[in-house]
């Protein structure tokens, strides 16, 4: 279903949703935007061409989450999180795509993560398409796009005074109940905007045979070159919408077992109890990060594990750029495999 949503009507609509849902939308925090619960009033919808700093994966996989609580005398019980039905509003298509990618890890046939599942089931995602290209994004390069519709309940397209709302699920349709249906011409107009936005995104690097090149040059000195100035902090992984590594620790003082975000760029990530570290330096860790996104994820689910949001490019303290790393990878030697 396609609806028309006047921009003036949007604040009221958000407030109506608040009656039944927790509404999360990007709001200004310091000098960046952050997904925060909607307050009773005074909220503006931000449609600047940039992303929130913390990706919305944090709404599904919190930075710190209690899994199990222990009692004093050896017993334990599973932690309960009270998760209200919620609407995540104005997330960008790249981030929504990332959540779908994470589903492949958290919701597998045999085992699924109960907390992730509950949060996913209770969430309606309403995306805001990017009609203006963002600064460092490269979503079209990796096969997604500024109006990528994967895993969304609804998407908004900015058409000047109003948004065109496309809904893809019944839950989302009820959210927009009562709004005027969009005419054919408006839909065509929206398509043009979407196409134009798609065309405006630059192609940052070629993805053809990238997987083979990275895979076959596992021990090349290419990795030394690209990781030379890496500091080894966790900015790129913590701000990445598709990075989901976590670490489980027992907070004994609080008698809780806790799951925290972890990063493959840390020394302690792969450190073994014996003291041996299979990824002893930043070279191996950089290789792991890039290969996970551009090799292993393709092996596992046949999708590139990077949605091109550009956060790692923008916030890297030393200006390392995944786009240029992969551009350099294009000149690596490789052989075509005939297996597939």
Partner 1 sequence: MAERPGIALFQCQWCLFSPTDQDWVDNHLPNNIYLTKTPCTGRINPLYVLNAVQGGADGVMISGCLPEQCHFVTGNITARRQLEEFNDFLNHIGYEKQRVRFVWLDLQDRGMIQKELAAFEEELKNLGRAANLVTRMKVAEGEQNA
Partner 2 sequence: MPDIEAIKSEAKRLLSEGMVEVMLAFKAGETPLHPQPAFFRTPDDVDELVYSSLNQNNLATYLTRLPKESKVSMVVRGCENRSVNALVVEKQKSRDNLYLIGVPCEGILDWRKIVAKAGEAVKSVNESEQEVMVESRSGYYLVERKELLHDSCMRCSHPNPVSADILIGEPLAESDSNLAREAVEEFEALSVKERYAWFRKEAERCIRCYACREACPMCYCTECFVDHIEPRWTESGATPAGMQAWHIVRAFHQTGRCTSCGACERACPMDIKMTYLTEKLNHDMKEKYNFETGLDAQTKPPFATVTLDDKNRFMV
Q: Which of residues 68-87 bind partner 1 (CB under 8 A)?
A: 72
Candidates 8, 181, 221, 253; binder of partner 1 (CB under 8 A) is 253
Which of the choices partner 2, partner 1, none does residue 72 contact, using the CB cut-off of 5 to 8 A by kind? partner 1
- Write down the least CB distance from residue 64 to partner 1, Å: 13
Q: Which stretch binds partner 1 (CB under 8 A): 34-42, 150-158, 238-246, 248-256?
A: 248-256
Judged by CB, which is closer to partner 2: 47, or 189? 47
Residue number with CB closer to partner 1 (71 or 185): 71
Q: How many residues bind partner 1 (CB under 8 A)?
A: 4
Q: Which of the stretches 21-29, 101-109, 207-215, 253-261 binds partner 1 when contact is defined by CB under 8 A?
A: 253-261
CB of 69 to partner 1, least distance (A): 8
Pick out residues in 200-259 that bind partner 2 (CB under 8 A).
228-229, 231-235, 237-239, 247, 249, 251-254, 258
Which partner from the list partner 2, partner 1, none does 255 bind, CB cut-off 5 to 8 Å by kind?
Answer: partner 1
Q: Report in angstroms how near the CB of residue 292 gets to partner 2 at its nearest.
A: 18
Of residues 32 through 51, those in contact with partner 2 by CB under 8 A are 32, 48-50
3-state secondary structure the chain: CEEEEEHHHHHHHHHHHHHHCEEEEEEEECCEEEEEECCCCCCCCCCCCCCCCCCCHHHHCCCEEEEEEECCCCCEEECCCCCCCEEEEEECHHHHHHHHHHHHHHECCCCECHHHHHHHHCEEEEEECCCCCCCCCCCCCCCCCCCCCCCCCEEEEEECCEEEEEECCHHHHHHCCCCCECCHHHHHHHHHHHHHHHHHCCCCCCCCCHHHHHHHCCCCCHHHHHCCCCCCCCHHHHCCCCCCCEEEEEECCCCEEEEEECCCCCHHHCCCCCCCCCCCCHHHHHHHHHHHHHHHHHHHHCCCCCCCCCHHHHHCCCCCCHHHHHHHHCCCCCCCCCCC
Piece in contact with partner 2 (CB under 8 A), picked from 28-36, 87-95, 119-127, 211-219: 28-36
Among 30, 84, 121, 335, binds partner 2 (CB under 8 A): 30
Residues that bind partner 1 (CB under 8 A): 72, 253-255
């Amino acid at each position: 279903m396609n609806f028309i949503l006047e921009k003036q009507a949007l604040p009221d609509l958000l407030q109506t949703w608040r009656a039944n849902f927790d509404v999360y939308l990007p709001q200004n925090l310091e000098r960046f935007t952050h997904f925060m619960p909607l307050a009773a009033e005074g909220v503006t919808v931000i449609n600047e061409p940039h992303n929130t700093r913390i990706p919305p994966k944090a709404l599904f996989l919190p930075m710190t989450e209690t899994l199990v609580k222990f009692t004093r005398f050896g017993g334990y019980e599973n932690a309960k999180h009270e998760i209200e039905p919620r609407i995540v509003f104005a997330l960008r298509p790249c981030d929504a795509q990332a959540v779908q990618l994470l589903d492949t890890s958290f919701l597998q046939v045999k085992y699924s993560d109960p907390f992730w599942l509950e949060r996913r089931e209770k969430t309606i995602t309403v995306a805001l398409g990017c009609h203006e290209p963002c600064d460092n994004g490269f979503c079209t390069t990796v096969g997604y796009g500024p109006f990528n519709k994967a895993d969304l309940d609804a998407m908004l397209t900015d058409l000047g005074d109003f948004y065109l709302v496309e809904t893809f699920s019944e839950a989302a349709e009820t959210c927009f109940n009562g709004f005027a249906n969009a005419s054919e011409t408006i839909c065509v107009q929206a398509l043009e905007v979407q196409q134009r936005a798609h065309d405006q995104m630059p192609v940052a690097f070629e993805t053809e045979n990238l997987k083979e090149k990275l895979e076959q040059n596992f021990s090349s000195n290419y990795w030394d070159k690209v990781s030379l100035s890496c500091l080894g902090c966790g900015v790129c992984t913590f701000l990445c919408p598709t990075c989901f590594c976590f670490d489980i620790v027992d907070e004994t003082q609080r008698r809780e077992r806790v799951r925290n975000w972890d990063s493959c760029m840390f020394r302690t990530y792969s450190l073994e109890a014996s003291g041996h570290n299979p990824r002893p330096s930043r070279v191996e860790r950089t290789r792991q990060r890039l290969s996970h996104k551009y090799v292993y994820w393709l092996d596992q689910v046949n999708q590139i594990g990077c949605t091109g949001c550009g956060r790692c490019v923008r916030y890297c303290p030393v200006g390392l750029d995944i786009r240029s790393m992969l551009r350099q990878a294009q000149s690596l030697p490789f052989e075509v495999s005939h297996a597939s």
